[in-house]
Amino acid sequence: MSRPNPEPESSDRSFTFLATACVLVTIEASDEQAARAAYEKINDETFSINVTTRTGHQLDDVSLEDTTPELYRVDGEEPVEQCPRPGCGGHLINGRCTDGDCYAAAHERTFTFALAQVLAAAEHATAATTHTECDEQTEHPAHLCWLKNDGTALASNGHDPDATHTVYADGWGPGTHPALGDDDDPFHAIDLHTPTDDAPALLDTLRTATANGHTEFLLRITHDGTSPTVSTTTR
């Protein structure tokens, strides 16, 4: 009786190549410096992966060996513009600098607030009998304080130990970086009662806009690298 021929042993061998590849590493951090610091802690590490290509080949692991990785995206956006502030190495993403120490990230920025809440804060300041000063004394003691040391907010300066009358700009709540301002003062007073050559007093503007069905208050900040200039509108 003849025996079946044995199956020939495979002549294929396993080859592992050290290949150059583009690896995207996403790190959640407050700013670019913090993200790079976190990256440095994992740089030079080898990570096990289990990936099979469409043609059936195996990718074993990946090693991070780039000490100065290029910034690719922030919040899903490509950093196409470097910050114009002298000496800043950050990039502008939707008007915000990736450098956590950069205050004057853009020369102009507009913040959006809920108009009803801004009016409530303004009415509270007007009705209060005692007030807390912001960075400067306006002609009338009642005003709004633009708070820029922890996010961006507008607050009544009326003294009220039982409640706070503060409204934050959309996307700039507590815990976000100061939005704009190269000065060291985190507060700025916004006059409510003094009309200008071009507009009535801000409080009157807020009341009229609310009566006309407007819902948003826009605070536009321009910065010359030394101090901010504030203008407002509603819609």
**What averages of pLDDT result for each successive group of 10 residues across the chain (235 residues)?**
58 64 80 84 78 80 78 77 74 72 61 95 91 67 84 87 82 72 64 87 95 94 67 90
Which tokens in the block code for residue 168? Answer: 């934050």
pTM summary value: 0.56
pLDDT of residue 63: 78
Q: Which amino acid is at 49?
A: I
Give pLDDT, residue 121.
Answer: 94
pLDDT of residue 120: 94
H or E stretch covering 36: helix 32-42
pLDDT of residue 216: 96
The three-point CA angle 20-22-25 to 5° equals: 130
pLDDT at residue 105 in the model: 46
